[in-house]
Amino acid sequence: MIRLSLIPLTRSGRDPLIADKLKHHDPSFGYNNASGYIEEDSVQALEQVVSEEFGVGGQRPRVLATAGRRRASARPAIYVEYKQALTQGAQLYSKWFVHAVESGDLREAKLQNTVKDFFSAYPSQRSK
């Protein structure tokens, strides 16, 4: 389980993209609150980053398929932003996440634009 600060999660949970995904989320999948939803997206994004580091991530991030089923969750933005942050050196995920939310990288228009740009880069996998 990834332990993240409650303050950024509270901010993230109020984000229009996250709130919309929770509202239209199939409760049978679990992760029915902001913290669970963001934790799941974090785990999936980190799994993709680690897979790529080991050379088994593939040319198309797997995060596409799972995010597509969830109507463009925050997962692609977490993946893109954290992977970009890692180019500056190793970073503890929980600290990076707090900073990304507080700085606005994972909130509101920036979050939505990162998700949109991600799917634009992979048009055949665009979420519906």
Q: Where are the domains of the chain?
A: 6-125
pLDDT at 115: 85
pLDDT at 82: 95
Q: Is the dihedral of CA 114, 117, 121, 127 positive or negative?
A: positive
List CB contacts of 60: < 8 A, sequence separation 6 or more: 122, 125
Q: Is the pLDDT of residue 3 over 70?
A: no
Contact indicator for 78, 41 with CB cutoff of 8 Å: yes
Give the model confidence (pLDDT) of 85-121 as tens digits. 999 999 999 899 989 988 989 888 888 898 888 878 7
Give the model confidence (pLDDT) of 79-89 as tens digits. 999 999 999 99
